[in-house]
Amino acid sequence: MTTLGAVPHDDVDRLQARVNALEHERRHLLAVIEILQEIGGSLHFVDIVQAVARRLGEAFGLDRSSIFLAERGGRTVRLVASYEDPSIRNYVVDLDRYPELRQALQTGQTVHIDDVTTDTTLRHVRGALSTRRVKSITVVPITWRGASIGAIFLRTFRDGAAFSDADVRFCQVVASLTARALRNAHRFERLQGQKGEPAPVRNRERERAALVGYLRRLLDAFADRDGPWSEDALAKASAEEIERLVGVTMAVLSQEATGR
């Protein structure tokens, strides 16, 4: 009768590590689904950035989870959402205080600082980070068509779980989803702005377009006629008749502009 030997300890450790990795991946997938459900149902940029900051903060138990957006040209960066303080909506930040944020925005690459106590670029804020018991910082750029339009800024606690490579990749996926959601929100708000334009303004634009088209056709018709133009004949026309023709023309243009 054959007896089964004990499973080697190394194999048990490998199996347990694999199970832990699969569970970690499952949590990431569930978090992505939840984020998609929340931001996919909104077309307002404030709701989108707040939802992303909150979801990431809750998922990792972070010291800080913030969304920064860069204005056109990249000269100004604003803090638009914060997990630890949801009341922050539009705060201009000094990039000299955030060299890791500036690097991510300029290069379009993720910046990960595994230990803030040993990073030389953070010497000026090391005391504050130590007081808050910060362990690591990860900055993931939010890009659209190759340009950095913002960044996700994350800080972990010293006594919390370490930020793994899988966690960084997960945040990069979230950043990509955020970029698409913000683009859709921008298009929606732009369309809303166009629809909200006063009717008189839209009508005047249509009147101008109709007038240009009318004058072009009128001049083409005269150019096709044989014989020279007669200034004497124009002088014989009465002022009242000219005014009447102008009035008729403007009435037609007004009807064209309103679509009637």
**Same domain as 95, residue 160:** yes
Contact 86, 50 (CB under 8 A): yes
What total number of domains does the chain contain? 2
**Distance (Å, whole) CA 2 – CA 30:** 45
C-alpha atoms less than 13 angstroms from C-alpha of 205 in its C-beta half-sphere: 5
- The helix, strand and coil proportions of the chain, stated in percent and rounded to the nearest 5, come to 60, 15, 25
Diameter of the chain measured on Cα atoms: 128
Structural domain harbouring 62: 14-195
pLDDT band at 187 (very low <50, low <70, confident <90, very high): confident
Inside any domain, residue 77: yes
Tens digits of per-residue pLDDT, 90-124? 899 988 889 999 999 999 999 999 999 899 888 88
Inside any domain, residue 5: no
**Distance (Å, whole) CA 259 – CA 106:** 49
**Same domain as 213, residue 134:** no
Element (H, E) at 147: strand 147-157
Look over the chain and give the mean of its residue pLDDT values, rounded to a whole number: 79
Q: Other C-beta atoms within 10 Å of 95: how many?
A: 18
Inside any domain, residue 6: no
C-alpha closest to that of 67 among 142, 157, 4: 142
Inside any domain, residue 110: yes
**Distance (Å, whole) CA 40 – CA 63:** 26
**Same domain as 161, residue 113:** yes
Tens digits of per-residue pLDDT, 2-22? 555 555 767 777 777 777 777
**Same domain as 188, residue 88:** yes
Inside any domain, residue 137: yes
Identify the pLDDT of residue 162.
Answer: 81
Query: Can you give the CATH number for the domain in which 44 is found?
Result: 3.30.450.40
Most confident range (mean pLDDT) of 164-173, 184-193, 205-214, 239-248 is: 164-173
